[in-house]
Amino acid sequence: MKMKSLIPPTPPGWEPSRQPTEPAPPTDERSAPAPAPAPTPPAPAARRTLLTRAAPVGGVAVGKREITVLAVPWDESARVFWRGEWWQETFARGAFADYIATTTRYPRVNREHTRGATVGKIMSLEETDRGLVAVIKVAKTEAGEEALNLALEDMVSASMGYRTNSDLDAIVNRAAKTRRVLRAALAHLSLVEDPAFEGATVLDVRRG
Protein backbone atom coordinates (compact mmCIF):
# COMPACT_ATOMS: atom_id res chain seq x y z
CA MET A 1 0.00 0.00 0.00
CA LYS A 2 1.38 3.31 -1.05
CA MET A 3 1.77 5.82 1.74
CA LYS A 4 2.15 9.58 1.72
CA SER A 5 5.56 11.08 1.95
CA LEU A 6 6.49 13.11 5.05
CA ILE A 7 9.42 15.25 5.72
CA PRO A 8 10.85 16.08 8.72
CA PRO A 9 23.26 23.86 31.49
CA THR A 10 25.50 22.59 33.55
CA PRO A 11 24.19 23.16 37.03
CA PRO A 12 25.86 26.16 38.58
CA GLY A 13 29.12 25.42 40.29
CA TRP A 14 28.96 24.72 43.97
CA GLU A 15 31.43 25.60 46.65
CA PRO A 16 31.85 23.28 49.62
CA SER A 17 31.29 24.82 53.01
CA ARG A 18 34.46 25.92 54.70
CA GLN A 19 35.26 24.28 58.02
CA PRO A 20 36.76 26.47 60.81
CA THR A 21 40.41 25.78 61.41
CA GLU A 22 42.74 26.41 64.34
CA PRO A 23 44.96 29.50 63.85
CA ALA A 24 48.48 28.56 62.86
CA PRO A 25 51.21 29.22 65.44
CA PRO A 26 53.34 32.31 64.77
CA THR A 27 56.51 31.75 62.81
CA ASP A 28 59.69 33.68 62.28
CA GLU A 29 59.15 35.43 58.96
CA ARG A 30 62.92 35.65 58.42
CA SER A 31 63.33 31.86 58.35
CA ALA A 32 59.94 30.70 57.08
CA PRO A 33 60.11 29.41 53.49
CA ALA A 34 57.74 30.89 50.92
CA PRO A 35 54.66 28.71 50.38
CA ALA A 36 54.64 26.62 47.21
CA PRO A 37 52.14 27.74 44.58
CA ALA A 38 48.97 25.64 44.40
CA PRO A 39 48.94 23.24 41.44
CA THR A 40 46.74 24.24 38.54
CA PRO A 41 43.91 21.74 38.08
CA PRO A 42 43.70 20.14 34.63
CA ALA A 43 41.14 21.58 32.27
CA PRO A 44 38.03 19.44 31.97
CA ALA A 45 37.78 17.31 28.84
CA ALA A 46 35.59 18.79 26.16
CA ARG A 47 32.25 17.09 25.78
CA ARG A 48 30.77 16.50 22.36
CA THR A 49 27.32 18.01 22.07
CA LEU A 50 24.38 15.84 21.09
CA LEU A 51 22.67 17.42 18.09
CA THR A 52 19.29 16.69 16.56
CA ARG A 53 18.00 16.90 13.01
CA ALA A 54 14.40 16.29 12.05
CA ALA A 55 12.72 14.94 8.92
CA PRO A 56 9.27 13.57 8.00
CA VAL A 57 8.38 9.90 8.31
CA GLY A 58 8.48 7.98 5.06
CA GLY A 59 6.43 4.84 5.38
CA VAL A 60 4.53 2.61 7.80
CA ALA A 61 4.34 -1.18 7.41
CA VAL A 62 1.26 -1.88 9.47
CA GLY A 63 1.30 -5.68 9.21
CA LYS A 64 4.71 -5.93 10.82
CA ARG A 65 4.38 -2.91 13.13
CA GLU A 66 7.26 -1.28 11.27
CA ILE A 67 7.89 2.29 10.20
CA THR A 68 10.52 2.93 7.53
CA VAL A 69 11.92 6.44 7.47
CA LEU A 70 14.35 8.43 5.41
CA ALA A 71 16.03 9.90 8.49
CA VAL A 72 18.63 12.06 6.73
CA PRO A 73 18.58 13.09 3.06
CA TRP A 74 22.00 13.72 1.55
CA ASP A 75 22.98 17.26 0.56
CA GLU A 76 19.71 18.87 1.66
CA SER A 77 20.26 22.05 3.65
CA ALA A 78 18.51 22.58 6.98
CA ARG A 79 18.62 25.65 9.23
CA VAL A 80 20.03 24.52 12.60
CA PHE A 81 21.09 26.16 15.86
CA TRP A 82 24.74 25.27 16.55
CA ARG A 83 27.15 26.85 19.06
CA GLY A 84 24.81 29.73 19.79
CA GLU A 85 24.18 30.72 16.17
CA TRP A 86 22.01 29.75 13.22
CA TRP A 87 23.75 27.74 10.50
CA GLN A 88 22.84 25.93 7.30
CA GLU A 89 23.79 22.27 7.63
CA THR A 90 24.03 19.38 5.17
CA PHE A 91 25.07 15.73 5.41
CA ALA A 92 27.43 14.17 2.89
CA ARG A 93 26.67 10.74 1.51
CA GLY A 94 28.57 8.16 3.56
CA ALA A 95 28.40 10.18 6.79
CA PHE A 96 27.07 7.15 8.70
CA ALA A 97 29.01 4.40 6.88
CA ASP A 98 31.59 3.90 9.65
CA TYR A 99 28.88 3.91 12.31
CA ILE A 100 26.81 1.28 10.51
CA ALA A 101 29.87 -0.91 9.91
CA THR A 102 31.06 -0.88 13.53
CA THR A 103 27.98 -0.64 15.77
CA THR A 104 26.56 -3.83 17.27
CA ARG A 105 23.37 -2.39 18.74
CA TYR A 106 21.19 0.28 17.26
CA PRO A 107 19.60 2.92 19.54
CA ARG A 108 16.00 3.11 20.72
CA VAL A 109 13.25 5.27 19.24
CA ASN A 110 11.35 7.77 21.40
CA ARG A 111 8.86 10.61 21.09
CA GLU A 112 9.94 14.27 20.87
CA HIS A 113 13.55 13.48 21.91
CA THR A 114 12.33 12.56 25.41
CA ARG A 115 14.52 9.98 27.11
CA GLY A 116 12.30 7.25 28.53
CA ALA A 117 9.38 7.93 26.17
CA THR A 118 10.32 4.83 24.16
CA VAL A 119 8.03 3.67 21.37
CA GLY A 120 10.30 1.19 19.58
CA LYS A 121 13.79 0.41 18.34
CA ILE A 122 15.80 0.60 15.15
CA MET A 123 15.98 -2.76 13.40
CA SER A 124 18.20 -1.74 10.48
CA LEU A 125 20.07 1.20 8.96
CA GLU A 126 21.09 1.59 5.34
CA GLU A 127 22.73 4.32 3.31
CA THR A 128 20.88 4.67 0.01
CA ASP A 129 21.20 7.06 -2.90
CA ARG A 130 18.66 9.35 -1.21
CA GLY A 131 19.98 9.25 2.34
CA LEU A 132 20.04 7.28 5.59
CA VAL A 133 17.09 4.90 5.81
CA ALA A 134 15.99 3.35 9.13
CA VAL A 135 13.45 0.61 9.82
CA ILE A 136 11.73 1.05 13.21
CA LYS A 137 10.07 -1.80 15.11
CA VAL A 138 7.17 -0.31 17.06
CA ALA A 139 6.42 -1.60 20.56
CA LYS A 140 3.06 -3.15 21.42
CA THR A 141 2.30 -0.47 23.98
CA GLU A 142 -0.19 2.38 24.15
CA ALA A 143 2.56 4.84 23.20
CA GLY A 144 3.70 2.57 20.38
CA GLU A 145 0.18 2.23 19.04
CA GLU A 146 -0.22 5.99 19.08
CA ALA A 147 3.07 6.44 17.20
CA LEU A 148 2.02 3.90 14.59
CA ASN A 149 -1.34 5.57 14.04
CA LEU A 150 0.23 9.04 13.81
CA ALA A 151 2.71 7.75 11.22
CA LEU A 152 -0.13 6.25 9.21
CA GLU A 153 -1.94 9.57 9.23
CA ASP A 154 1.12 11.59 8.19
CA MET A 155 1.21 13.38 11.55
CA VAL A 156 4.79 12.72 12.74
CA SER A 157 8.27 13.04 11.28
CA ALA A 158 11.57 11.35 11.99
CA SER A 159 14.25 13.27 13.88
CA MET A 160 17.65 11.90 14.78
CA GLY A 161 20.05 12.72 17.57
CA TYR A 162 23.67 12.40 16.48
CA ARG A 163 27.25 13.13 17.54
CA THR A 164 30.49 13.93 15.76
CA ASN A 165 33.74 12.80 17.38
CA SER A 166 36.09 15.55 16.27
CA ASP A 167 36.24 18.86 14.43
CA LEU A 168 37.50 16.94 11.42
CA ASP A 169 34.13 15.25 11.06
CA ALA A 170 32.58 18.35 9.51
CA ILE A 171 33.57 21.11 7.08
CA VAL A 172 32.74 24.48 8.64
CA ASN A 173 32.60 27.79 6.79
CA ARG A 174 32.26 30.45 9.48
CA ALA A 175 31.89 33.31 7.01
CA ALA A 176 28.98 31.67 5.18
CA LYS A 177 27.65 29.98 8.34
CA THR A 178 27.53 26.56 6.68
CA ARG A 179 28.40 23.17 8.14
CA ARG A 180 28.76 19.95 6.11
CA VAL A 181 28.84 16.75 8.19
CA LEU A 182 31.22 14.10 6.83
CA ARG A 183 31.12 11.57 9.71
CA ALA A 184 28.55 11.06 12.46
CA ALA A 185 27.24 8.50 14.95
CA LEU A 186 23.55 8.01 15.61
CA ALA A 187 22.54 8.54 19.27
CA HIS A 188 18.79 8.02 18.99
CA LEU A 189 15.86 8.39 16.63
CA SER A 190 12.69 10.22 17.55
CA LEU A 191 9.20 10.70 16.13
CA VAL A 192 8.32 14.39 16.30
CA GLU A 193 5.78 16.88 15.01
CA ASP A 194 8.14 19.46 13.46
CA PRO A 195 10.70 18.33 10.85
CA ALA A 196 13.88 20.12 9.77
CA PHE A 197 14.63 18.33 6.50
CA GLU A 198 11.79 18.59 4.01
CA GLY A 199 13.21 15.73 1.96
CA ALA A 200 13.18 13.14 4.74
CA THR A 201 9.99 11.12 4.57
CA VAL A 202 8.14 8.07 5.91
CA LEU A 203 8.60 5.40 3.30
CA ASP A 204 6.43 2.56 4.60
CA VAL A 205 4.13 1.56 7.49
CA ARG A 206 3.17 -2.02 8.42
CA ARG A 207 0.82 -3.02 11.21
CA GLY A 208 0.57 -6.49 12.79
**CATH assignment of 51-206?**
3.20.16
Q: What is the mean pLDDT of the chain?
A: 77
Q: What residues does each domain of the chain span?
A: 51-206
- Asked if the model's pLDDT at residue 61 lies above 60, the reply is no
Q: How confident is the model at residue 6 (pLDDT cuts 50, 70, 90)?
A: very low
Q: What share of the chain is helix, strand, coil (3-state, %, to 5)?
A: 10, 40, 50
Share of the chain above pLDDT 90, in %: 38
Check the CA dihedral 145-148-154-157 and report its sign.
positive
- Asked if the model's pLDDT at residue 123 lies above 90, the reply is yes
Euclidean distance between CA atoms 108 and 105, whole angstroms:
9
When computed from its CA atoms, the radius of gyration of the chain, rounded to whole angstroms, is 24
Euclidean distance between CA atoms 77 and 70, whole angstroms:
15
Q: Which residue has the higher pLDDT, 23 or 174?
A: 174
Q: How confident is the model at residue 25 (pLDDT cuts 50, 70, 90)?
A: low
- Asked if the model's pLDDT at residue 40 lies above 50, the reply is yes
72, containing H or E segment: strand 66-73
Predicted confidence at residue 2, as pLDDT, reads: 45
- Give the pLDDT confidence of 69-91 residue by residue, as tens digits: 988 899 998 888 788 888 899 99
With H, G, I as helix, E, B as strand and everything else as coil, classify residue 155. Answer: coil
Predicted confidence at residue 116, as pLDDT, reads: 86
Q: What is the pTM for the complete model shown? A: 0.66
